[in-house]
Structure 1
Amino acid sequence: MAVKNRREKRIIRHKRIRKKVFGTAERPRMAFYKSLNNIYVQIINDEEGKTILSASTIDKDFVEKYGFRGGKNIEVAKKLGEFIAEKALANGIENVVFDRGGFIYHGKVKAFAEAAREKGLKF
């Protein structure tokens, strides 16, 4: 059966990635997701099945700090990468496994990842 559209292709890529990517307490998984209007990130311990940290472009703390409300351009992705890296380092998390959620490592995903690395998060 042929794949019909980009969304289905992304879901197939995401399933393939999730087979290989697993977060632990020492090195949790940083899951990235972008919708049509916003970007969401979670740092997850898959052993316990719990979300350790989360951030998004509609998060109250993010909006207060950077003045953005929603949006998902590259500039917002960079700021969100810096924001989640600061939160993670404040909670003692230095190393993570990056789960790009099936999205191609280009544009907003790349900008987010590079900004998080620049702030000191290792993956």
Structure 2
Amino acid sequence: MDRLKRKKIRQERRVKRVRKATTSKFGRMRLAVNRSNRNIRAQIIDDEKRITLCYAGTDQKDLGQSAKNKDAARKVGEAIAKAAAAKGIKQVYLDRRGQRYHGKILEFANAARENGLEF
């Protein structure tokens, strides 16, 4: 098994372990952040009803052209916080999808907090 395949398997295990622990503990909506090589996407999910309530990502035209850097992550954080405020959502928990809490994920989280989300 090559290195990238092992890395992906470890990430999937982290995702499942964290999801299992957090879904049962909190009565909040889940703020899932997905970072790929091209885009940063975030969505607020109601796990009980299994629906997506809000979505923001760099693949949307109104968030600009830069999709790979920390500025783009900040814009997505601001956009998801504004969309959540419009739907009346204040408290969420952050699901990093097995990614480290630094760089783009950290910028996203700080921007979402600054614009009114609590997690």
TM-score normalised by structure 2 residue count: 0.87
Distance in 2, Cα, partners of 1:112 & 1:55:
11
Helix, strand or coil at the partner of 2:102: coil
Unmatched tracts of structure 1, length 5 or more: none
Letter in 2 for 1:97: Y
- For 1:21, the equivalent position in structure 2 comes to 22
- For 1:85, the equivalent position in structure 2 comes to 81
What is the CA distance between 1:10 and its match in structure 2? 1.7
Deviations along 1:17-40, whole A, 9 cap, x unmatched? 1111228xx621011101110011
Aligned 1:42-121 pairs, distance under 5 A: 42-60=43-61, 62-63=62-63, 68-69=64-65, 71-121=67-117
Unmatched tracts of structure 2, length 5 or more: none
- For 2:13, the equivalent position in structure 1 comes to 12
Which of structure 1's runs of 4+ aligned residues deviate more than 4 A?
none
Give the helix-richer structure, 1 or 2: 2
1:39 paired to 2:35: no
Q: What value does the CA root-mean-square deviation take over the aligned residues?
A: 2.0
Deviations along 1:63-105, whole A, 9 cap, x unmatched? 3xxxx23512111101110110011011100110110110011
Sequence identity (%) = 44
Corresponding residue pairs, total? 115
Helix, strand or coil at the partner of 1:22: helix
Q: Contact 1:42–1:51 at 8 Å: present in 2 too?
A: yes
Helix, strand or coil at the partner of 2:52: strand
TM-score normalised by structure 1 residue count: 0.84
- For 2:31, the equivalent position in structure 1 comes to 30
